[in-house]
């Protein structure tokens, strides 16, 4: 059977890491597209030359031509600009919206059957715009945010509790921004919810609150350290987890920026929710119950995302 085809739109820091990870995991043949001449070609060649030592079989191609993504099973979009210190993800909106228009049109024309994962920020608004520009079915276009935010939360919790990250589960919902909602009640160590661990004296509420805030600021902390761009290893790994769930029909329960129409009291918008990802794309949105405080935080986050979508419509009236 022919290998699946993975198209990576954007060959920057995340795009290059995605290409390397997808090759090492032998998820398929990889085409890397970018508008910068030479960048995707150079990265593809470099990664192909890591194949003999790593021992993977994958055809790597770099291109500046959209026609080369034809027939892609998965497209992962990182085209656009990352933030610099002092910027919020929302500051990227104007520039990256234009990028989503050209990427959406490219996917619409050449890879309309692909499962599309958007990483470009501000995520919830960009995945919405990408879906609008591409015209693909909503369940085939999804944003990567919750897997990353939950991974950050899990990492911080594992350090606090001195236990393996594998035994820590975490749920982060809402928009991928300052208003994201880490749900402590639905996050566990070995199945024990975090509030119970506070009761058991494993940590204090103050320390847990600080970890929740550090999770919310997780991207900014890395931007502040790197100074020249934003995080790329963990964002790439998170998107690969989603791509693998689709390609291997794993039915993974992953928090993603998905189109929600009906669940959680929402009427047709993209925001971070628990989803089931399998061969059908986003096969289900899990309609979890929130308590009063969680609902208030989620509502605030939803409002922030709605504000960004309105800003997109104001910039590009074709979206209105
Ligand atoms: N079409 C295709 N590629 C584009 C376009 C476009 N219209 N505009 C820019 N690019 C490419 C750039 O040439 C660059 O190679 O997108 C790439 C972005 O790479 P980086 O600047 O290294 O950014 P990266 O760290 O990969 O982040 C990309 O993901 O997490 C988000 O906030 C982040 O929005 C940013 C995106």
Residue-level pLDDT at 248: 98
Q: What is the ipTM of this complex?
A: 0.99
Q: What is the average pLDDT value for the chain, to the nearest integer?
A: 96
- Picking from 97, 118, 33, 88, the residue whose alpha carbon sits closest to that of residue 219 is 88
Digit-coded pLDDT (tens) for 122-173: 999 999 999 999 999 999 999 999 999 999 999 999 999 999 999 999 989 9
Give 88's pLDDT tier (boundaries 50, 70, 90).
Answer: confident
- Distance, CA 12 to ligand 1 centroid (Å)? 6
Q: In terms of C-beta density within 10 A (0-12 exposed, 13-18 middle, 19 or more buried), how is residue 313 classed?
A: middle
Residues recognised as catalytic? 176
Q: Which atom of ligand 1 lies closest to the CA of 235? A: 30
Contact 215, 152 (CB under 8 A): yes
d(CA 231, CA 311): 25
Pocket of ligand 1 contains residue 82 by CB under 6 Å: yes
Pocket of ligand 1 contains residue 229 by CB under 6 Å: yes
Pocket of ligand 1 contains residue 218 by CB under 6 Å: no
Digit-coded pLDDT (tens) for 44-79: 999 999 999 999 999 999 999 999 999 999 999 999
- Distance, CA 35 to ligand 1 centroid (Å)? 10
The answer to whether the annotation marks 89 as part of a ligand binding site is yes
Residue-level pLDDT at 52: 97
């Amino acid at each position: 059977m022919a290998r699946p085809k993975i198209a990576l739109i954007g060959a920057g820091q995340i795009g290059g890491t995605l290409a390397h990870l997808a090759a090492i995991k032998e998820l398929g043949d990889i085409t890397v597209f970018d508008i910068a001449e030479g960048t995707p070609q150079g990265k593809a060649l470099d990664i192909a030359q890591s194949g003999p030592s790593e021992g993977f079989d994958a055809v790597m191609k770099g291109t500046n031509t959209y026609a080369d993504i034809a027939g892609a099973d998965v497209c992962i979009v990182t085209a656009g600009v990352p933030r610099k210190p002092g910027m919020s993800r929302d500051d990227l909106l104007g520039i990256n919206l234009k990028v989503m228009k050209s990427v959406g049109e490219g996917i619409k024309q050449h890879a309309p059957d692909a499962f599309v994962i958007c990483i470009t920020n501000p995520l919830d608004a960009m995945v919405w715009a990408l879906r609008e520009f591409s015209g693909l079915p909503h369940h085939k276009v999804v944003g990567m945010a919750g897997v990353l935010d939950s991974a950050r939360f899990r990492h911080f919790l594992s350090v606090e509790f001195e236990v393996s990250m594998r035994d820590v589960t975490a749920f982060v919902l809402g928009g991928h921004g300052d208003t994201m909602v880490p749900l402590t009640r639905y996050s566990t160590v070995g199945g024990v919810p975090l509030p119970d661990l506070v009761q058991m004296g494993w940590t204090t509420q103050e320390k847990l609150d600080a970890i929740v805030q550090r999770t919310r600021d997780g991207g900014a902390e890395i931007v502040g350290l790197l100074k020249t761009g934003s995080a790329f290893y963990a964002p790439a790994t998170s998107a690969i987890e989603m791509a693998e769930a689709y390609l291997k029909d794993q039915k993974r329960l992953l928090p993603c920026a998905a189109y929600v129409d009906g669940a959680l009291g929402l009427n047709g918008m993209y925001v971070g929710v628990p989803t089931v990802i399998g061969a059908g794309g986003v096969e289900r949105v899990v309609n979890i119950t929130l308590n009063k405080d969680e609902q208030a935080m989620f509502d605030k986050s939803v409002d922030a995302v709605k504000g960004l979508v309105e800003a997109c419509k104001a910039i590009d009236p074709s979206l209105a």
